[in-house]
Amino acid sequence: MKVIWFKKWGWTYLPVHPIGIVITLLAMLFLVPIYAAIVRNGHSVSDDLYKMFVYTTCTAFWWKWIADKTSSNAE
């Protein structure tokens, strides 16, 4: 029997299993020290946002990939 970690909800996914919640929290916690380092060493807001964009999109891509593969409509 397949365990469902996420449920598709519109264009995003909701964690419906404790493992899905842990994956989501780990993705968010991963970004906290990165954002802190970017802001601490940044020179301007636009430079900070450009650097944050790279890490945020990569993290969001892998989170969505995991969510898609473990959702109720994955085949």
What is the distance between the alpha carbons of residues 15 and 64, in angstroms, rounded to a whole number?
A: 11
Task: Render pLDDT for 40-62 as a digit per residue (tens, 0 to 9).
Answer: 998 899 999 999 999 999 999 99
Asked if residue 75 is part of any domain, the answer here is: no
Asked if residue 34 is part of any domain, the answer here is: yes
Per the structure, the count of domains in the chain is 1
Task: Render pLDDT for 8-40 as a digit per residue (tens, 0 to 9).
Answer: 988 899 999 999 999 999 999 999 999 999 999
Asked if residue 23 is part of any domain, the answer here is: yes
Helix axes 18-41, 45-69, angle to 10 degrees: 170
Asked if residue 29 is part of any domain, the answer here is: yes
pLDDT class of 67 with cuts at 50, 70, 90: very high
Does the pTM exceed 0.95? no
Q: Which domain holds residue 25?
A: 17-70
Asked if residue 40 is part of any domain, the answer here is: yes
Asked if residue 43 is part of any domain, the answer here is: yes
Question: Which of 27, 26, 14, 22 has the alpha carbon at shortest distance from 56?
Answer: 27
Give the helix/strand (H/E) hosting 7.
Answer: strand 6-9
Question: What percentage of the chain carries pLDDT values higher than 90?
Answer: 80
